Structure 1
Amino acid sequence: MEILIAFIAFSLLAFIISVLLYFIFGRIVEPTYIFLFNKPVYVHFYPFPKELSFSEKAVLEKNFRFYRNLSEQRKKYFRHRIHAFIDNYKFVGRGGLEVTEEMKVKIAATAIMLTFGMREYLPDLFEVIIVYPDVFESANGDYHKGEFNPAAGAIVFSWRDFQEGIEFDNSNINLGLHEFGHVLHVNAMGIKRLGSAFVIYSDMFTSIKQYVAVPYNRDKILNAGYLRDYAFTNEHEFIAVALEYFFESPQEFRQRLPELYEMIKKMINYREN
């Protein structure tokens, strides 16, 4: 009986200490760190990392320049996140399309690229990824290449157009990056957890809006003739398009629009390798 009481007391004490440490880290340590350095204390910590198969790793090496440029350690982090992403969401093929493991890896890798600088990388804004062979008819009767529908908990792609975005990785048109960019934006702007990387995102997005609102800066972006016209539809499309360019032609982006490039880099806590 005394041993049982001691065990219960120890477990309770351990629980109280862990809750206290979590509170101190989340409410004091990390917010202070973010305030001083504008980045989270840590991003990657996986006590039991998952691994991909040989064929899945080959898909990454062949198709994703972003992955090839990572250090070996960060490649392991990337592969773990892809494994977790594939396990977390349901993939559904429509129009007679079968979603293969290769397709799942390509979709997951595109999403993980955007959030690789953040701890939170599995948004709960959607549960299913629907893939059509080609353009598809949306609920409103219009035909689309892709869409993010948070009300339905789904993100939808035309595989032909998604694949083209990967094959031509310097065209600045990447359907996957664009739609997952919408997911990232809605998720980050809807969550205001103290100490979270989403705070950095929302703060930097505010800075970007303020920057673009200045006529001189807006004219400079327009006169650069770099971002396609669709970027100026609204603020959601601006960020989605800018993220496409950020990953597809980073050197040109940095050269032609250096201030905007640096703000987006900070917004997603991006590292070069």
Structure 2
Amino acid sequence: MNPFILLSVFFGVFVGKAIEPVYVYFYGKPLFIHFYPIPKKLKPFELEILNSNFHYYSNLSPRKKKYFDHRVATFIQNYQFIPKEGIEISTEMKILIAATAIKLSFGMRNYLVKVFDKIIIYPESYYSTVNDVWHKGEFNPRMKAIVFSWEDFLAGYEYDNDNLNLGLHEFAHAYHLHGLKSSDVSALIFAETYKQIISYTAKPEIRTKLIASNYFRIYAYTNSFEFIAVLLEHFFETPEQFEIEFPELFQKVRKMINF
């Protein structure tokens, strides 16, 4: 093994076991997020897809763009993309889907989670024989799959301030489950802050204010998983309004994903 890589692994293990727990206790975030001894790069036309279609990426610093590039390339290599009903999966599809997951998990050290291993893509809304309804997308833990209607995935980026983003919503479900089931440092922070959010929003006066505001669509109150997914959609789509209307909740969401 390359001596530099070996030293990097040793450093990571040492930091994780000896130093980081203390740091997390005092600061509520991982000691470090990005550390890539040999970062992967995207091809010029792949970078053009990101710069042309992904405003979040365009606003990153050059250093963070390199981190983002590495994560997108690694994500695409680690997950299977499966076409359905005759759709052809293009590089653009892979880049935009991967970038959505990376945006959501950019503050987490572990972004390659095991709660899903495949991404299934339909051209448009698809019919489920499991529950006899039409779907635009879903996270299926049993199948370890995230499923998208490509038409509806793209609609989530047509307007970036309507608080409706299918890609963010379904990946939020996946990272939520990872946060509750796993023991890496980012998952532990997610789980602990998630408990704080649920406790905070369960207060009668807070819940009344949330519902009365009409800021979060009524679907958010279906259950705690939908609530967190909708919170994260709003966090990325209209962060300024979110922070003004519910500053304490906004900061908790921010801490939860270490944004």
For normalisation by structure 1, the TM-score amounts to 0.89
Return the match for 2:94 from 101, 104, 114. 104
**2:19 aligned counterpart, secondary structure:** helix
Query: Could you list the per-position Cα deviations for residues 148-179 of structure 1 after superposition, in whole angstroms to 9, with x for gaps in the alignment?
Result: 11211211100000000012111110000000
Answering whether residue 113 of structure 2 is matched by residue 113 of structure 1, we say: no
Answering whether residue 220 of structure 2 is matched by residue 231 of structure 1, we say: yes
Return the match for 1:131 from 121, 125, 138. 121
**1:260 aligned counterpart, secondary structure:** helix
- Whether contact under 8 Å (2:124, 2:152) holds in the other structure is yes
RMSD over equivalenced CA pairs, Å: 1.8
Q: Report the Cα offset of residue 24 of structure 1.
A: 4.8
Aligned to 1:14: none
Aligned to 1:175: 166
Query: Could you list the per-position Cα deviations for residues 236-262 of structure 1 after superposition, in whole angstroms to 9, with x for gaps in the alignment?
Result: 000001100110111111111111111
Aligned to 1:160: 151
**2:48 aligned counterpart, secondary structure:** helix
Matches of 1:199 and 1:132, distance apart in 2: 34
The structure that has the greater radius of gyration is 1
Q: Report the Cα offset of residue 70 of structure 1.
A: 1.0
Answering whether residue 137 of structure 2 is matched by residue 146 of structure 1, we say: yes
| 2:216 counterpart letter in structure 1 | L
Matches of 1:27 and 1:216, distance apart in 2: 41
**2:60 aligned counterpart, secondary structure:** coil
1:21/1:90 CA distance change after superposition, 3 Å: closer
Q: Report the Cα offset of residue 192 of structure 1.
A: 2.8
Matches of 1:23 and 1:74, distance apart in 2: 24
Answering whether residue 29 of structure 2 is matched by residue 39 of structure 1, we say: yes
Aligned to 1:29: 19
Query: Could you list the per-position Cα deviations for residues 212-237 of structure 1 after superposition, in whole angstroms to 9, with x for gaps in the alignment?
Result: 11111111211221000000000000
- Whether contact under 8 Å (1:30, 1:41) holds in the other structure is yes
Q: Report the Cα offset of residue 26 of structure 1.
A: 2.6
**1:266 aligned counterpart, secondary structure:** helix
1:21/1:43 CA distance change after superposition, 3 Å: closer
| 1:231 counterpart letter in structure 2 | A
Q: Report the Cα offset of residue 87 of structure 1.
A: 0.5
| 1:174 counterpart letter in structure 2 | N
Matches of 1:148 and 1:189, distance apart in 2: 15
- Whether contact under 8 Å (1:63, 1:167) holds in the other structure is no
Matches of 1:168 and 1:96, distance apart in 2: 27
| 1:173 counterpart letter in structure 2 | L
Matches of 2:51 and 2:8, distance apart in 1: 40
Answering whether residue 189 of structure 2 is matched by residue 191 of structure 1, we say: no
Matches of 1:19 and 1:121, distance apart in 2: 18
The runs of 5 or more residues in structure 1 that have no matched partner are 1-10, 12-16
**1:92 aligned counterpart, secondary structure:** strand
| 1:163 counterpart letter in structure 2 | L
**2:147 aligned counterpart, secondary structure:** strand
Aligned to 2:211: 222
